[in-house]
Amino acid sequence: MPLEMQNLSSLKSLTICWCEELSSLPQSLLNLKALESLEISNCHSLISLPDGGIGGMQHFSSLRSLIVLSCPWFDSLPEGLQNVKTLHCLEISSCPNLTALPEWFGDLDSLRSLTIYDCHNLTLLPPGFKLLTKLQHLSIQECPELEERCRQGSSHEDWFKIAHVPHKYIGSPQVRWSGEASTSGSSSVQASSQ
């Protein structure tokens, strides 16, 4: 990536796609302090996002949306992301090497929307997930073991972590569980199948 990119101090949106040889994003991206939206897709060699040591991703002080799509070697969220207090939307899709969300995931207290799609090796939600009280929309699809853990009921280990989310879409389109907020503030879950 061009070194001059770090001088784009007013850049609000950045999409990086089809960079087949890109294994990590440059630390210079952390200088994009006005960045609100970052999408990384089809970077088939990407392993990680910049963490930058001291401070790391907290330099993305305006970041509201992070999307990581079809990056098969991507295996973890950078630790510095927990300090991004403006993040509202996170989407992770087709990242088979992602096996866990970090323990600090509950620190993303501004998160309003989370989509996890086609991450087959992601099998459970971290304990702090239930601390995401502003989360309004949760979609988990094509993640078989995680879907099973998130189904409604006492025998499904992760249900209690997501029960507070008003709108949840768990499972494939053929069998989808969704919660809808009622006027009393509680949620209901509906299942349908074809």
Residues 6 or more apart whose Cβ sits within 8 Å of residue 18: 41, 42, 43
Residues 132 and 85 in one domain: no
pLDDT score for 179? 47
pLDDT at 139 over 60: yes
**Distance, CA of 87 to CA of 84 (rounded, Å):** 6
- DSSP bridge pairs for 48: 24
Q: State whether 127 and 93 are in the same domain.
A: no
Residue 176 pLDDT grade (very low, low, confident, very high; cuts 50, 70, 90): very low
Return the DSSP state at 48.
Answer: B
Whether 117 maps to a domain, the answer reads: no
C-alpha 158/C-alpha 87 separation (Å) is: 23
- CA quadruple 66, 71, 72, 73: dihedral, nearest 10: -80
The pairing of strands 13-17 and 37-41 is parallel
Residue 129 has pLDDT above 70, yes or no: yes
CATH value at residue 49:
3.80.10.10
Q: Are residues 92 and 137 in the same domain?
A: no
Measured CA distances, 156 to 101, 117, 141, 150, 153 (Å): 18, 19, 16, 6, 6
Instruction: Inform me whether the pLDDT recorded for 79 exceeds 90.
Output: no
Verify that 65 and 128 share a domain, yes or no.
Answer: no
Higher model confidence: residue 92 or residue 178? 92
Quote the pLDDT of residue 56.
64
